[in-house]
Amino acid sequence: MMMPNTEITKDMFAPADIDHSVSEKIGRRSVSVWKDALRRFVQNKGALISMILLTIIIVAALVSPHFSKYGIDDQDLNRVNLPPKITALSWIPLFSGKEGGVDVYKQNGIKQDFWFGTDSLGRDLWTRTWSGTQISLFIALIAALVDLFIGVVYGGISGYFGTTVDNILQRIVEVIMGIPNLVWIILLILVMKPGLFAITVAILATNWVTMSRIVRGEMMKLKNQEFVLASRTLGASNGRIIFRHLIPNSLGMIIVNTMFSVPNAIFFEAFLSFIGLGIRQPQASLGSLINTGYQQLQIHPYQTLYPGLIISLLLICFNIMGDGLRDAFDPKLRR
């Protein structure tokens, strides 16, 4: 029997070069924290829908008042308490311009449409509701800026320097936190005249405290890590370490917390306007619109409906988006 020539000889083998760079190679594209967060955020349907809704509300608030030829304070007693009417959609009962089966528009001989109706002074609620939304959004912007500029800097300094500086800054925070927000805001608004300016100052004074505490905690956690030591060894100044290393590293927390303090501020403005400490006539805010609407709730519920709907949507969307961002940045915190 002939054996096939299968003898294995040494020269059939060659040493494989061990290439360390190959074994260290990352096969997949690298995913940064931000990309990872974005991926998780996009997967969260609720958060994505909220973001789209918010965008729609923001665009609508900025653009809509221009669709109506009436200003926020154009009164006309001939067109008092008209229900909403959109001719193109008049088959929907909500937009038919009828109230109790009577076409109020025909009754009063009014040709134009009022998309959200008019109030008891004949002012166009479309214009008023959307300019009220603008105020809510302005408050949201202020709250976010206060958080980012005062809260982050205060907490950053307090947490980074520690010891005496921290002690002094934290005693101040304790006094501010010991007194409830409501009391601070009421005192501030009583001293100033109620209005948008007073509310802005009240938010300036109170809104940053939570943020400063969170940033302080982050700073204390991060400042003893190696990369900070390395940076300091290379001669980086304190300011550079805080603003280039520590704050970017806690940016996730900062963004998430901002997203939660914004709806809070929006709520407070609406609440203050509702009890008469906020935006005053003839200016309109969602809170004050709801308050005036309530006086007519039993007869003309539509006057409360739209401002109520918009503020509810705003707050729900901000909260869901905040939840989504928190889950995206730190899945461990998922609740």
CB of 195 to other proteins, least distance (A): 14
Determine the Cα–Cα distance for residues 213 and 156; give it in Å rounded to an integer. Answer: 9
The residue (of 228 and 262) whose beta carbon lies closer to other proteins is 262
Task: State how far Cα 303 lies from the chain centre.
Answer: 26
Residues between 44 and 63 that touch other proteins (CB under 8 A): none
Cβ 154 to other proteins shortest distance, Å: 16
We find the least distance from the C-beta atom of residue 157 to other proteins, in angstroms, to be 18
Q: Binding segment for other proteins among 100-108, 146-154, 160-168, 304-312 (CB under 8 A)?
A: 304-312
Smaller CB separation from other proteins, 156 or 287 = 287
Q: Tell me how far apart the alpha carbons of residues 69 and 55 are, in angstroms, rounded to a whole number.
A: 24
* 323 lines the binding site for other proteins (CB under 8 A): yes
Residues 159-198 that bind other proteins (CB under 8 A): 175, 178-183, 186-187, 190-191
Asked if 292 contacts 135 with a C-beta cutoff of 8 angstroms, the reply is no
E-strand stretches of the chain: 98-99, 102-103
Please report how close the Cβ of residue 39 comes to other proteins at its closest, in angstroms: 20
Ranges within 4-23 binding other proteins (CB under 8 A) = none
Residue from 40, 79, 128, 213 in contact with other proteins (CB under 8 A) = 213
Q: Exactly one of 57, 211, 241, 320 binds other proteins (CB under 8 A); which one? A: 320
Segment 259 to 278, residues that bind other proteins, using CB under 8 A: 263, 267, 270-271, 274-277
Cα–Cα distance, 303 to 128 (Å, whole number):
11
Q: How far apart are CA 114 and CA 93, in angstroms?
A: 14
Residue carrying the six token digits 């007693």? 77
Closest distance to other proteins from the beta carbon of 29 (Å) = 30
Size of the site for other proteins (CB under 8 A): 36
Distance CA(95)–CA(83), nearest Å, equals 8
- Taking the alpha carbons of 98, 102, 106, 107 in that order, is the dihedral positive or negative? negative
CB 257 within 8 A of CB 208: no
Least distance CB 111 / other proteins (angstroms)? 31
Least distance CB 203 / other proteins (angstroms): 15
H helices present in 147-250, as ranges:
152-161, 163-178, 181-191, 196-206, 208-222, 226-233, 238-240, 247-249
284 is a site residue for other proteins (CB under 8 A): no
Asked if 301 is part of the footprint of other proteins (rule: CB under 8 A), the reply reads yes
Instruction: Give the largest CA-CA distance in the chain.
Output: 118
Nearer to other proteins, 68 or 264 (CB): 264
How far is the C-alpha of 213 from the C-alpha of 254, rounded, in Å?
Answer: 11
**Least distance in angstroms from the C-beta of 304 to other proteins:** 6
CA dist 198 and 9 (Å) reads 92
Write out the residues near other proteins by the rule CB under 8 A. Answer: 175, 178-183, 186-187, 190-191, 213, 263, 267, 270-271, 274-277, 290, 294, 297-298, 301, 304, 308, 311-312, 315-316, 318-320, 323, 335
